[in-house]
Each structure stands twice: as C-alpha cells, then as structure tokens.
C-alpha cells in the first residue's frame, strides 16, 4: 500500500519505559490514531519482550497504520525479566544511550517513507522524561511535542529543581534531615502551589547525594527545556487551574487534554482495543471475584508498577487489611518486596481466605469501575489517582517516591478525596484508615467529593468540554500545520 498520495500525519510516540508512563502515552497514541494519524509506538527492546510474554506472541503485530518499533535501552540484562528496570540506571541511560538508536530508527522510518510504505514522520510525541527526543527532532527537522504523563503540579515542581539546589533545600545534608523536621520547611515561592512543604514536593529532592543521577537529570531538564515547547498534560483545567495558569505564563503552549481514558470513551475504538499496553499478565479472575461481593464493600489495594517496600512493611499492610475485616483485592507484584519474594503465612491466608483475593496484576480501570469497589489503597501515582476519581472511588494514599507526595498532597488537602497513610504505617493505623474510608463519616464525605470530581472530568472530555476542545486545537493548529521533512 502506498501512502505517498494520501500523506497521513505520522506521529512517533515514545514513552519512558515503565508501566505508569506507557499507559498514558499509549492512550494518547490511540487518541491521535482515532483522529487520522499514522502511529509508530516505540518500546524499548526489554519492554517489547515483556509485552509479548504477558500478552502473547501476536500482541504487538499492530495495524497497518499503528505500528510498533523498538530501540535498545543500553542497560545490562536482568536476572528476572519481568520487573521494572532500576529507575536511576534508566534515567542515566536515557541521557547517555538513547539518542543514537532513536535517530537510527527515524532514519529507518524515513527510508520506508521514501519507498511509499508509510507516511513520513511529521512529529515526535515524547514522554517528558525522554529528554533526547528534542535533539532528535532538531536533527530531522520535526515538530517535537512533550507529553507530561503526571500532573501539571508535578511538572511545575520539576521546574523548581535548580532553585531547590540553589536555596540549599536539596540534596539533604545527611539522613537525619529526613526525620528532624527539615522536610516540613515551607516552599511558598512557587506560583500556584502555595503553602507547600518540602515533603510535599518531588521525593527525588530528598536524596543526600549531590551527584544523584535523578537529581541531576531534573536539574538539567529544568535548565534546558525550551520555553516554546508544546506540552500536553493528562489533566483538565478545573482540576489544576491555578497551576496551569502559572505554567501558561512560562510556557505559552500548554494543553490540558485529560483524562485521556475518558476522551477515548468518546470515540468508538473497537479496532484498536486489541492493542494492549500492560507489561504484566492481567488476572481476569479479579473481575469475576468482584461479582460475588456486595456493592461498595471491597477495598482495592495496588501500589503500582515501581513501588517497593520491606517485608516488615508489607506485613503491616497485610495485617491491617486483615484486621479491618473488610473484603479486599490486593495486587502483589512479584518484585514488591525489597530483596525477597512476597510470602504470606498460612495463618494469614486462613484468616482472610473468605474475604480476599490476591493477584499479581489486574485490569485496573475495570476493577475501579466495578460496583463492588468502595475504596482504593494506592501509592498515589498519577494514573491511579485519575483512574480512581474517574471511577468515583476515594483513596488511601501511601506515597513512596517521585511525584507521589505531590499527588498525595493535592488528593488529601486540596481535593479532599483521600487520606494519607504514614510512611512507616503500622497495622493499627492501616486498620483504622481502612474502616474510616469504607464505613466512616469522613469516607462518606470523600465519596461525595470524588463523585463531584468525576462529573467535572466527564464534562471536560465530552464534546464542547475544555479538554475535548484543547485536543482538537492542538491537532488542528499545531500538529497538522507542520510540514514534513519530505516537503
């Protein structure tokens, strides 16, 4: 088939190689595809293999106009090939190793285009953490678009890294600064983020190492990002209005176009439904089990794709859930426990057998939207946060790292749809907050606030809503106005 005559716009979409980034980038790729774009979705070779393992050998065959490509990640092979690669090593490799293989891929795509096999690439849509993409776009004279897969407030927080270092707030002087009250230091100079504390900012700032790879990455990112960048956010105006206004005064081309999942629901997309994005094999038994539970009775527990904890902390959560006497569905990844495997005693299994299901992964959106689910114990990752309030489910939040403290602050203090759990939570606290969420007066009020937020998200993504119109605007006024490198 020749594409020379029809000249479809062609977006090359590149996520950071972790589940929490792949999910929204894939949703965005589907949205562009539904609006007439040819898509090349770029996985790392490692994640490509994981995807085939979890979804089957034909999972990434794609469609004629939605194709998958790979680039190496430059990291040494792991003994266990079904875990997320170490975050610091991945960030370091992105800076050092990704640019050349990505440029080689763009050459390959251009060669295919010159033979009339595909349309020539017209734009790069890259995860904000894939910092090499801007250089590649310059080399190939392509439009570069950033998709920030977390909240707008986390992006604004990322922009403060150089100032945090200059003010002596990061890195921490030593380990004692984590517990001596220093993290309560006021950070009150960021427009749109008033009354924040250091503990409410990126957890990457809490390192004690001035040469920390991730700290350096974000300092460099904030210092080098082009103020004329086109930036897409998986959020909506009414959710983060003050922050988006502050960002718009720095970056003129800011487009809140989320929640992506709700925008996808506005268009029939059966032909791309078979294109999945989970790196772990989903346990569909979860949904069957929920069918046997009472409406609003189940607490769903999932700490995301990267969070890890000690065996001791896992047991505190386990017995807190058991002692709450509430039915629970707990997603326990094989790599959740640091330096070991997930082991629960026969006593525990017997105690909870009649009111629990434990699985290694699940279709989270389906689970959260099931009538039996009444609460969500989460790490506070942005995808989980959005998916939960879009399903009308309030949360218990145990932030672990990265942007999770920021999301937790908004969830619990600004939007009032969550309760924060102490970092060193004991089983008594877990039991207490589970009951507070599921049957307490505070949980009832949070549920009402969550339903209000759900309604606002739905309004933003229906035809005529702000996110719906912003997506149309960025496509018509930005993405479709660009000339290809073949023109």
CA distance 270 to 263: 14
Rounded CA-CA distance 101/104 in Å is: 5
Residues 6 or more apart in contact with residue 105 via CB below 8 angstroms: 12, 42, 69, 71
Query: How far apart are the C-alpha atoms of 251 and 210, rounded to whole Å?
Result: 29
Point out which residues pair with 449 in neighbouring strands.
none
| CB 399 within 8 Å of CB 384 | no
Neighbours of 21 (CB within 10 A): 22
Is 270 assigned a catalytic role? Answer: no
The answer to whether 387 and 411 are in contact (CB under 8 A) is no
Count of Cβ atoms closer than 10 Å to residue 139 Cβ: 13
3-state SS record for 83-142: CCCCHHHHHHHHHHHCHHHHHHHHHHHHHHHHCCCCCCCCEEEEECCCCCHHHHHHHCCC
CB 462 within 8 A of CB 97: no
Dist CA 228 CA 243 (whole Å): 18
Closest CA to 105 of 169, 1, 13: 13
The number of angstroms, rounded, from the C-alpha of 76 to the middle of its chain's C-alpha atoms is 25
Q: Which of 127, 200, 335, 403 is catalytic?
A: 127
Residue 191 has a CB neighbour count (10 Å cut-off) of 13
Q: Are 170 and 135 in contact (CB under 8 A)?
A: no
How far, in whole angstroms, is CA 188 from its chain's centroid?
A: 26
Q: How far apart are CA 258 and CA 266, in angstroms?
A: 12
Rounded to an integer, what distance in angstroms lies between the CA atom of residue 415 and that of residue 108? 47
Sheet of strand 418-420, all strands in order from the earlier edge strand to the far edge: 356-359, 328-331, 298-302, 373-378, 395-397, 418-420
User: Based on C-alpha coordinates, what's the Rg of the chain?
Assistant: 22
Catalytic residue among 10, 21, 38, 379: 21
Task: Look up 354 and say whether it is catalytic.
Answer: no
With CA atoms as reference, report the closest residue to 217 among 343, 312, 87.
87
SS3 label, residue 242: helix
The widest CA-to-CA distance across the chain, in whole angstroms, is 69
Nearest to 310 by CA among 199, 424, 427, 419: 424
Known catalytic residues?
Answer: 21, 127
């Amino acid at each position: 088939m020749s594409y020379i005559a029809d000249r479809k716009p062609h977006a090359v979409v590149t996520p950071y190689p972790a589940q929490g980034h792949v999910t929204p980038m894939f949703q965005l790729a589907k949205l562009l595809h539904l609006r007439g774009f040819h898509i090349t979705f770029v996985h790392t070779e490692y994640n490509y293999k994981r995807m085939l393992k979890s979804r089957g050998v034909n999972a990434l065959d794609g469609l004629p106009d939605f194709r998958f490509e790979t680039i190496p990640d430059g990291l040494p092979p792991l003994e266990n090939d079904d875990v997320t690669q170490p975050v610091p090593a991945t960030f370091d490799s992105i800076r050092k190793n990704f640019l050349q293989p990505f440029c080689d891929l763009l050459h390959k795509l251009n060669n295919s285009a010159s033979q009339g096999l595909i349309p020539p690439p017209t734009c790069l849509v890259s995860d904000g953490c894939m910092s090499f993409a801007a250089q590649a776009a310059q080399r190939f004279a392509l439009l570069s678009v950033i998709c920030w897969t977390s909240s707008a407030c986390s992006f604004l927080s990322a922009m403060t890294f150089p100032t945090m270092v200059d003010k002596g707030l990061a890195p921490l002087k030593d380990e004692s600064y984590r517990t001596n009250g220093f993290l309560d230091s006021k950070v009150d100079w960021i427009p749109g983020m008033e009354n924040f504390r250091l503990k409410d900012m990126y957890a990457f700032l809490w390192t004690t190492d001035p040469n920390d790879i991730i700290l350096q990455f974000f300092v460099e990112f904030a210092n080098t990002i082009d103020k004329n960048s086109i930036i897409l956010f998986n959020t909506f105006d009414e959710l983060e209005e003050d922050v988006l206004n502050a960002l718009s005064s720095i970056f003129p081309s800011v487009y809140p176009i989320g929640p992506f999942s709700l925008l996808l629901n506005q268009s029939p997309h059966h032909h791309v439904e078979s294109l999945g994005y989970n790196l772990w094999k989903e346990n569909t038994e979860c949904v069957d089990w929920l069918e046997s539970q009472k409406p609003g009775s189940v607490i769903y527990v999932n700490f995301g794709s990267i969070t890890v904890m000690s065996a001791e902390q896992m047991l505190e959560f386990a017995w807190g859930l058991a002692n709450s006497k509430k039915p629970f569905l707990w997603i326990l990844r094989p790599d959740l426990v640091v330096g070991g495997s997930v082991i629960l005693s026969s006593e525990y299994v017997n105690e909870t057998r009649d009111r629990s299901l434990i699985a290694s992964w699940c279709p989270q959106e389906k689970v959260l939207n099931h009538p039996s689910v009444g609460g969500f114990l989460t790490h506070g990752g942005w995808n989980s946060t959005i998916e939960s309030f879009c399903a009308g489910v309030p949360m218990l939040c145990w932030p672990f790292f990265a942007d999770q403290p920021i999301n937790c602050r908004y969830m619990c203090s600004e939007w009032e749809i969550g309760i924060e759990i102490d970092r060193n939570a004991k089983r008594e606290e877990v039991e207490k907050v589970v009951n507070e969420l599921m049957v307490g007066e505070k949980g009832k009020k949070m549920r009402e606030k969550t339903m209000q937020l759900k309604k606002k998200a739905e309004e933003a993504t229906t035809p005529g809503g702000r996110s719906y119109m912003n997506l149309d605007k960025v496509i018509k006024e930005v993405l479709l106005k660009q000339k290809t490198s073949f023109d």
